[in-house]
Chains A and B, each alone.
Chain A
Amino acid sequence: MTTTTGSRRRLRGGGGIHGREGVAGWVFTAPMIVVLGLFLFIPVLMALYVSFTNWNGNGSPFQGGQNAQWVGASNYTSLFTEDGLKRSTFMQSLANNFWYVLLVVPLQTAISFFLALIVSNRFLKGKGFFRTAFYFPSVTSSIAISVVFLFLFANSGAVNAVLETFGVKGPAWFSDSRGLLHLLLQAFGVGDSPSWAQGEVLGRSVWDWLSGPSVAMCVIIILAIWTTTGTFMLMFLAALQDLPGEVDEAAMLDGVSPWQKLRYVTLPMLKPTIFLVTTLGLIGTWQVFDQIYVMGKGAPGNTTLTPAFLSYKQSFTSLQYGSGAAMSFIVFLLIVALTAFQRWVMRDKDAPRRRRRTPGGATAAAVANDQVAGVPAGRTR
């Protein structure tokens, strides 16, 4: 029966039983390709083109002429080589965002992992409540949360009132542009702008590069950590629940302490999730925009300015769409480079490329290496 069907098929038009699968696949994916192409890929290409012009927003950027001359890579090079306001602002925004990423990504990963451990604990009562409570900030509008933070951290707001009860005079959070590292260095007796930090790199003094996040930026960092940990906690939670119980039991039979179990059994098995969380965190933090827009638009002293917001401002208020687009592509390249670097750091060092699952009698470690946790894709911010 099967053979006849098969031969009939072959007679009708070659290719065998799998013959039309390729076409079917393309047909099924076509709607998504069209949608993604139309609304994502093509606009990105158009923006790439704009980044090579000096388009001022008048008329179409694709017709050339006075309003959109082709200027080659000068929008990119001027951001790095031309001494001036544009470069110094852009460099400052990069520095700001670097400090932001440096604090937010490790902290949000660590805290969300810790929270996931707590809420996946078998002996915790009211799990549902805690899971909801921790996830709640993630589903609330970031604009609403930003506004609440504006009130909390106002000069006479709740945070400073609490600090005052402990006898600490809180800073004027949103108008304090002093860098955290500067404050720290000054506490250790390093004076304002010492001689070793006078050299200029890309238009800013070394001292400025080393400022650390400003006090105002710290508020945004706290906000970002608070809002994103919920989402990432959920990812860790899903991964934790997917871990096989046998491994835990095997580890317990081997007589490990809880800390050893966490360090040598749970963490290695969660590596894919850690990679996912840090990658999503890295991408999200380099694109931070809405919190900046609501909380000061770069003030005080441009210390909360980020490349994403600067690119928007450069385009829509300074009407220099070319250099605005160039900025966003530089950030894009930066994210790609950092993600690649991170992949390289987190690569599997000891495991051979393709492992064959050992049938039966697997030790805890072997299973741990094989385990690929199923992880839901989620929102990044």
Chain B
Amino acid sequence: MRRTTTLGLVFVTTSALALSACGGGGFDKGSSSPKQSSGPAKLQILIGTSGDAETAAVKAAADAWSKKSGNTAEVVVASDLNQQLGQGFAGGTPPDVFYADAGRIGDFAKAGNLYAYGDQVKDAGFLDSLVKTYTYDGKLQCAPKDFSTLALVINTDLWTKAGLTDADIPKDWAGLETVAKKLTSGKVTGLVVSGEWARLGVFMRQAGGWVVSEDGTSVTADTSQNAAGLTEAQKLLKSGSMKYAKQVDAGWGGEALGKGKAAMTIEGNWIRGALKNDFPNIKAKVVELPAGPAGKGTLLFSNCWGIAAKSKNQAAAVDLVKSLASVEQQMAFAKAFGVMPSTTEGAKQYAAAFPDDAAFAAGGDYGTGPVNLPGFDPVMAAFNTDLEQLASKDPKSILATLQKNGDAALKGQ
């Protein structure tokens, strides 16, 4: 008898604890628009930074806005942005403003984590390709922060040492094969890239293919164009004139170039800052990627200023984003850490201010953004896994797997 009562008591206490744990402050009650606070707002900005230069620039911009608007904005640097955002959303206290990667927009928007404020900032004149990248469900989800494109980066010393001149800059795949072969000797590999879709995808684009259709409604991975693109990359890998960064002990193409292990690499705007900081003696030149059978093609990467659906300071957050997305502010960012402004006016100013990086800016016209459909993150990760073995695997079977996985993700499985 006594035992049962005591057990009962324990059970009741535990259940009470369970209930209080669930009902307590741990989770937000409603998931639709939270009560907005009044008075001066205290905003938190979560960023995934490329380095001290970017952190300092964003902090300075946030401080300037705070001073002007009377609110406060605190910049927090994430060590793992996606994971920290996921945690923030789940915990009910996400940062008010945050970097949102173009590839994750679908996931975030579908889960209702984003405050789609696009209509309030539309008149800023963002580039069409960027507006398309951040549109989900017919709504512009957030203001594009900036963008970068991929281009061919050449170590000019190794270039001239191999007896090459400006006339040899590759215009097509055949040209790329020739110079990559000429530049490969001893410890130097002609072309070193990261073995992932975010680099090798350029070959698919140049062959006229892409993972999803133009309107983003169907998966078009197993097309002959994509196969042609990957086959070209495979050919370069097999010949030994192209290697993955990992094979030469580098974390990414920029590091391989900086360490003198690569004569060329395919990287984006961020390589400028990295080379300047880590390998100041390397002279690099940026040219547009060679065209494939279907003409020029590159990939475009971008972040936007996401505002949390659960933020209590949405009005202030939109105001902050407006000031961050202004042309002057974006040019300041461009000068600080090399990204390109997301507005047509800004892009124009950028091309004028940085003639050396014109190749990056040119990519804005024909670049393709990452797949922004929900559920595609693991699909593209699996694609990356397969691409690691591109040298020995049949491109068609890789693409068939991508097609199968992509179709499943599109159906929401």
Judge if B113 is at the interface, Cβ distance under 8 Å. yes
Bound-state CA distance A357–B2 (Å) is: 35
Residues of A near B404 (CB, < 8 A) are: 84
Bound-state CA distance A84–B17 (Å) is: 40
Judge if B389 is at the interface, Cβ distance under 8 Å. yes
Q: Which of B2, B3, B83, B413 contacts A316 (CB 8 A)?
A: B83
Q: A155's closest neighbor in chain B, by CB?
A: B249
**A-B pairs with beta carbons under 8 A, tally:** 124
Interface residues of A in 263-304 (CB under 8 A from B): 298-302
Query: How many whole Å from B214's CB to the nearest CB in chain A?
Result: 24
Q: Which of A60, A85, A315 contacts B27 (CB 8 A)?
A: A60
Inter-chain contact A57/B408, CB cutoff 8 Å: no
Judge if B22 is at the interface, Cβ distance under 8 Å. yes
Inter-chain contact B86/A319, CB cutoff 8 Å: yes
Residues of A near B309 (CB, < 8 A) are: 58
Residues of B near A37 (CB, < 8 A) are: 13-14, 17
Q: Which of B18, B82, B89, B244 contacts A175 (CB 8 A)?
A: B244
Judge if B60 is at the interface, Cβ distance under 8 Å. no
Contacts A42-B18, A84-B408: A177 and B249 contacting too (C-beta < 8 A)?
A: no
Bound-state CA distance A298–B34 (Å) is: 38
Inter-chain contact A315/B86, CB cutoff 8 Å: yes
Bound-state CA distance A174–B244 (Å) is: 13
Contacts A22-B2, A301-B388: A58 and B246 contacting too (C-beta < 8 A)?
A: no
Q: Which of B17, B29, B30 contacts A42 (CB 8 A)?
A: B17
Residues of B near A315 (CB, < 8 A) are: 86
The B interface is mostly helix, strand or loop, or mixed, namely helix
Inter-chain contact B382/A59, CB cutoff 8 Å: no
Judge if A242 is at the interface, Cβ distance under 8 Å. no
Inter-chain contact B405/A85, CB cutoff 8 Å: yes
Residues of B near A56 (CB, < 8 A) are: 110-112
Residues of A near B246 (CB, < 8 A) are: 172, 174-175, 300
Query: How many whole Å from A343's CB to the nearest CB in chain B?
Result: 27
Bound-state CA distance A41–B17 (Å) is: 11
Q: A154's closest neighbor in chain B, by CB?
A: B249
Judge if B315 is at the interface, Cβ distance under 8 Å. no
Inter-chain contact A22/B112, CB cutoff 8 Å: no
Inter-chain contact B86/A57, CB cutoff 8 Å: yes
Most buried by A among B21, B30, B90, B404: B90
Number of interface residues of B (CB under 8 A): 49
Residues of B near A85 (CB, < 8 A) are: 378-379, 382, 405, 408-409
Query: How many whole Å from A373's CB to the nearest CB in chain B?
Result: 33
Judge if B247 is at the interface, Cβ distance under 8 Å. yes
Q: Which of B13, B27, B89, B405 contacts A62 (CB 8 A)?
A: B27
Q: Which of B27, B30, B82, B247 contacts A172 (CB 8 A)?
A: B247
Bound-state CA distance A267–B408 (Å) is: 54
Residues of B near A66 (CB, < 8 A) are: 31, 112
Residues of B near A316 (CB, < 8 A) are: 82-83, 86-87, 90
Interface residues of A in 45-84 (CB under 8 A from B): 45-46, 56-63, 65-67, 78, 82, 84
Residues of B near A299 (CB, < 8 A) are: 385, 388
Residues of B near A58 (CB, < 8 A) are: 31, 89-90, 111-113, 309
Inter-chain contact B90/A89, CB cutoff 8 Å: no
Bound-state CA distance A23–B6 (Å) is: 8
Residues of B near A172 (CB, < 8 A) are: 246-247
Bound-state CA distance A305–B4 (Å) is: 46
Judge if A196 is at the interface, Cβ distance under 8 Å. no
Judge if B10 is at the interface, Cβ distance under 8 Å. yes
Residues of B near A155 (CB, < 8 A) are: 247-249
Residues of B near A34 (CB, < 8 A) are: 13, 17
Inter-chain contact B87/A84, CB cutoff 8 Å: no
Query: How many whole Å from A85's CB to the nearest CB in chain B?
Result: 4
Judge if A156 is at the interface, Cβ distance under 8 Å. yes
Q: B26's closest neighbor in chain A, by CB?
A: A60
Interface residues of B in 147-204 (CB under 8 A from A): none
A9-40 interface code vs B (CB 8 A; 1 in, 0 out): 00000000000001100100000011001100
Judge if A317 is at the interface, Cβ distance under 8 Å. yes
Judge if A318 is at the interface, Cβ distance under 8 Å. yes
Q: Which residues of A contact B (CB under 8 A)?
A: 22-23, 26, 33-34, 37-38, 41-42, 45-46, 56-63, 65-67, 78, 82, 84-86, 89, 154-156, 172, 174-175, 177, 298-302, 315-319, 321
In the A-B complex, list the 6 residue pairs whose CB atoms are closest, starting with the nearest.
Answer: A60-B27, A59-B31, A57-B90, A56-B111, A316-B86, A175-B246
Q: Which residues of B contact A (CB under 8 A)?
A: 2-3, 6, 10, 13-14, 17-18, 21-22, 26-31, 82-83, 86-87, 89-90, 92, 107-108, 110-113, 244, 246-249, 309, 375, 377-379, 382, 385-386, 388-389, 404-405, 408-409, 413
A sample of 6 cross-chain residue pairs with beta-carbon separation below 8 angstroms, ordered by A number, consists of: A26-B10, A37-B13, A57-B111, A58-B90, A175-B388, A319-B89
Given A45-B18, A319-B111, 7 extra CB contacts under 8 A: A22-B3, A46-B21, A57-B89, A58-B113, A85-B379, A89-B378, A155-B249
